[in-house]
């Protein structure tokens, strides 16, 4: 039943050809899954973030461990994995904005690594949204113990929610996405964000790491693509894997 919903959502969101292409990945055998997990754990532990902070962010969460494989609206839930701290910092540093009035929103926040990194910038508030209750549970534990001074709990909000249903707060925004969902969900998210910005104009930026579904942002009347540090100084991103590079979009008034 679960496999059938996964395949149906995959055909709907990615198309038949891509689903056929990814079939071995979608139907991983237990042995292949164990190997993939070991590889991802080693790969994502390399930046030493978890070792330094006693957090749990490396590895992947997929299948029953993640929870839902399809949202209530029938869209594919992309499994949890994260990036290096350096990639998150490079993307945020490139914005060169005054964050002190802004809210950092990670849609598809997983275990909360970008939220923890963003907490070291002067954002007023931090919001993490994930459709997976398992991810949010780990994110709560991670955030509660992070940093020498701990993050002020009043500054962080974590929610189990489909990002397509998220209502953006009426404050300047930095929206962070790490390849969290298929294009159909991102279309809804961008439409909600644009409606919110039209109703209440304010500065907003979308930092989209490993951007697979750019069409909604590309055709937006409100957002323009901004040059990132990696665009301006390719050496700054030297050695960074392609899937850690970000596309950044900004909307005025700046």
Residues forming contacts to ligand SAM in the complex (CB under 6 A) are 66, 71, 77-78, 80-83, 106, 108-110, 113-114, 129-132, 135, 162-164, 178-181, 185
- Of the two residues 114 and 172, which places its CB atom closer to ligand SAM in the complex? 114
Shortest distance in whole angstroms from residue 32 CB to ligand SAM: 19
Q: How far is the CB of 40 from ligand SAM (least distance, A)?
A: 11
Give the nearer residue to ligand SAM in terms of CB position, either 160 or 226: 160
The Cα 112–Cα 82 span in angstroms is 9
Closer of 31 and 144 to ligand SAM (Cβ): 144
Distance CA 152, CA 161 (A): 22
Q: Please, which residue, 81 or 194, has the CB nearer to ligand SAM?
A: 81
Pull the structure tokens for residue 190.
């961008």
Cβ proximity to ligand SAM: between 78 and 213 the closer is 78
Contact yes or no for 137/165 (Cβ under 8 A): no
Q: Are 125 and 157 in contact (CB under 8 A)?
A: yes
Whichever of 40 and 113 has its CB closer to ligand SAM, that residue is 113
> Smallest gap, in angstroms, from Cβ of residue 100 to ligand SAM?
23
Residue 46 CB, shortest distance to ligand SAM, in Å, is 15
CB of 151 to ligand SAM, least distance (A): 16
- The distance of closest approach from Cβ of residue 216 to ligand SAM in the complex, given in angstroms and rounded to an integer, is 14
In this chain, which residue has its C-beta nearest to ligand SAM?
108
Q: How far is CA 28 from the centre of its chain?
A: 24
């Amino acid at each position: 039943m679960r496999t059938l919903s996964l395949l149906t959502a995959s055909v709907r969101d990615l198309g038949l050809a891509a689903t056929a292409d990814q079939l071995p990945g979608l139907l991983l055998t237990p042995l292949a899954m164990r190997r993939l997990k070991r590889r991802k754990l080693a790969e994502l532990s390399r930046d030493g973030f978890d070792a330094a902070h006693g957090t749990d962010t490396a590895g992947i969460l997929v299948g029953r461990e993640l929870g839902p494989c399809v949202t209530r609206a029938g869209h594919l839930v992309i499994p949890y994995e994260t990036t290096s701290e350096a990639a998150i910092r490079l993307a945020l540093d490139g914005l060169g904005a005054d964050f002190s009035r802004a809210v950092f929103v990670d849609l598809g926040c997983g275990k909360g690594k970008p939220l923890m990194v963003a907490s070291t910038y002067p954002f007023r508030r931090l919001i993490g949204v994930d459709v997976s209750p398992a991810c949010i549970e780990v994110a709560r534990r991670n955030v509660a113990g992070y940093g020498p001074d701990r993050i002020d709990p009043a500054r962080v909000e974590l929610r189990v929610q489909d990002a397509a249903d998220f209502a953006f707060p009426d404050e300047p925004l930095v929206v962070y996405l790490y390849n969290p969902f298929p294009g159909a969900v991102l279309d809804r998210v961008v439409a909600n964000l644009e409606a919110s910005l039209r109703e209440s104009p304010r500065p907003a930026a979308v930092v989209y790491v490993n951007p697979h579904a750019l069409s909604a942002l590309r055709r937006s009347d409100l957002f323009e693509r901004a040059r990132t540090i990696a665009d301006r100084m390719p050496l700054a991103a030297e050695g960074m894997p392609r899937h850690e590079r970000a596309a950044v979009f900004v909307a005025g008034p700046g």
